[in-house]
Structure 1
Amino acid sequence: MDLGISGRTAVVCASTQGLGRACATELARAGCTVVVNGRSPESTEKAAADIAAETGATVVPVAGDLNEEAVQDRLVAAVDQVDILVNNNGGPPFRDFREIDREALLTGVVSNMATPIRLIQGVVDGMVERRFGRIVNITSSSVKMPIAGLDLSSGARIGLTGFMAGVARSVAHANVTVNFLLPGRFATGRLHSLYEKEARDRGITVEQAAEAASADVPAGRPGDPAEFGAACAFLCSAQAGYITGQSLLMDGGAYPGVL
């Protein structure tokens, strides 16, 4: 399927590995010029080179801490215009809510709410003017089904979802869409680290922890990041202009509700 975005420019945050990397790769495969981002110059440059070699696309590395405004500005300035923005950022670690002090609280809100909002503010008016824009915010399945220990992550991401709900409706007339992708368990390094923690806490092997986790998912397995990247690319496509303000849950059926 031709997504109709060849020649477009995309900024994908936190995209040297995991789900961000998968999104950047699929957008590059669709013909976009893609700006990739990571904390380390070495890892960012390597990811850009690897994605370019795999897809033949132009891939621009911009390294730095995404929560720094100067880095956000460099991301937006790395291309002449931003047609597609994929917001992604690391979430706060598992922690009992009693252990979250003010500093940790503010850090979580900045990373998972304030940073994506500022990036959207920097690109949305240009999108409206050009009558094309696609904004995808990667949040979490915990937005729909909060998980104890991820309270800060859930709260900040729910805040972003609520904040952008009205914005999405205000720019839809200009063919600018704002949507959310809510991943459940995907086969990434972060998921493996959670399995390792579970194994330590329960005195079992990592393999046993992984099997137990998959047993709770109707699909019977973790998601493939490539599946996530493909969904992201579709939401960024020309054909997705009538989809906006939506939260697409990708969790293999783990969420038991109907809404």
Structure 2
Amino acid sequence: MLISLKYKKALVGGASQGLGLAVAKQLAASGASVTIMARNEEKLKTVVAALPVSENQKHNYLVADFSDFEKYKKIIDHYFLSNQVDILVNNTNGPKAGTVLEKTSEDYLSAFNLLFQTVQYTTAKVVKGMKENKYGRIINLTSRTIKEPVDNLALSNTIRAAVVAWGKTLSRDVGKYNITVNNILTGNFDTERLAELFETQAKMLHTTVEEITKKSITDIPLQRLGMPEELANVVAFLASEQAAYVTGASIPVDGGLLKSI
């Protein structure tokens, strides 16, 4: 199966590193013109310069801080004054770790703006053009923790579950326009974000990052961390014509880590 995204325009969040970066590379390698979003402009410039251009695509970037929702809205509003998007990959940086008992109402509101409001707002902007074009792919990168909550990730567990429920609901509203909406439940991938989480866990449990990593791998049936490129391959499929009948799905990409069905 040859996946071609030639002539498609993609917008990818959190794409200066980690999973977002891998997704941006794969979509570009499949022929899409990709606009990436993140906070660090120097990293964004470096990534854009390195993205594949085998189909003479034009790639771009937006300097956007998902944690500042009001400023983020202005950036997105300006972008969509002159742009349309065929493929939207909603991906944001995660909130700070912590237990339910530690987090305040303000913490939950901040996490809601970071993980949900930015996703909903961006999606609302792309849907209009997708409806007019009778084509669209909306892919939300969430987490396997929405099915099996992980200790010390109270904010992420809670708000990402809302994103998945919202995505499922949206898929039923936009399907008639040939727009698909799917959620990817990510497992443990070899990224900077996972390294930070392991470091936090190690401090809490008074152990080493190596021990936390070893325990994490032991729990994964495939006995290894995932590579970002492996998740990017799934995103590219969902973004393609070949996945036209896949919508409203929440797909674990976790090496079998989830025990639930």
Which bin holds the TM-score, normalised by the shorter protein?
over 0.9
Structure 1 outlier segments of 4+, above 6 Å: 53-56
Matched, 1:44 2:44: yes
1:59 CA drift (Å) = 1.6
1:167 aligns with 2:167: no
Partner residue in 2 for 1:87? 90
Deviates more, 1:46-55 or 1:173-182: 46-55
- Paired residues, what number? 257
CA distance in 2, matches of 1:40, 1:147: 29
| Residue in structure 2 matching 1:71, options 66, 75, 82 | 75
Determine the structure 1 residue equivalent to 2:34.
34
Mapped contact 2:6–2:55 kept (Cα < 8 A)? no
Find 1:229's aligned residue among 207, 217, 232. 232
Note the alpha carbon deviations across 1:138-179, whole angstroms, 9 max, x for none: 011111111121121121111122123222112112210000
- Equivalent position of 1:58 in the other structure: 58
Q: CA deviation at 1:225?
A: 0.2
Give the AA of the match of 1:137: N
Name the CA distance, whole Å, in 2 between partners of 1:200 and 1:55: 47
**Aligned runs of 1:102-251 on 2, under 5 Å?**
102-251=105-254
Q: What is the match of residue 16 of structure 1?
A: 16
SS state of the match for residue 130, structure 2?
A: helix
| Residue type at the aligned position of 2:162 | G
Distance 2:206 2:88 in 1: 42
What is the rounded CA distance, in whole Å, between the counterparts of 2:148 and 2:54 in structure 1? 36
2:84 and 2:258 map into 1 onto residues whose CA distance is: 38
Kindly provide the amino acid, as one letter, of the partner of residue 117 in structure 1.
Answer: Q
- In structure 1, stretches of 5+ residues that fail to align are none
Change (3 A) 1:196 1:181: same
Retained in 1: the 8 A contact 2:29–2:53? no
In 2, the alpha carbon distance for the partners of 1:22 and 1:54 equals 17
**What's the C-alpha RMSD, in Å, of the aligned pairs?**
1.8
SS, match of residue 24 in structure 2: helix
Q: Secondary structure at the match of 1:199?
A: helix
Question: 1:74, CA displacement in angstroms?
Answer: 4.0
Q: After superposition, give the CA deviation of every residue in 1:41-97 in whole Å (9 maximum; x if it has no partner).
A: 1111111112247997422011121332112224445x6321000000011121121
Residue identity in the other structure for 1:89: T
Q: 1:147 to 1:204 in 2, by over 3 A?
A: closer
Q: Please give the secondary structure, in 1, of the residue aligned with 2:166.
A: helix
| Structure-1 separation of matches of 2:88 and 2:110 | 22
Length-normalised TM-score, structure 1: 0.93
8 A Cα contact 2:16 2:40, kept in partner: no
1:192-244, CA deviations, whole angstroms, 9 ceiling, x for partnerless residues?
12222333344444333211210011110110000001101100001111000
Q: Partners of 2:156 and 2:101 in 1: how far apart?
A: 14
TM-score normalised over the length of structure 2 = 0.92
Q: Which amino acid in 2 is paired with 1:189? A: E
Q: Which moved more, 1:228-237 or 1:93-102?
A: 93-102
- Distance, in Å, in 1 between the alignment partners of 2:41 and 2:25 is 18
The one-letter amino acid of 2:237's match is F
Q: Which amino acid aligns with 2:42?
A: E
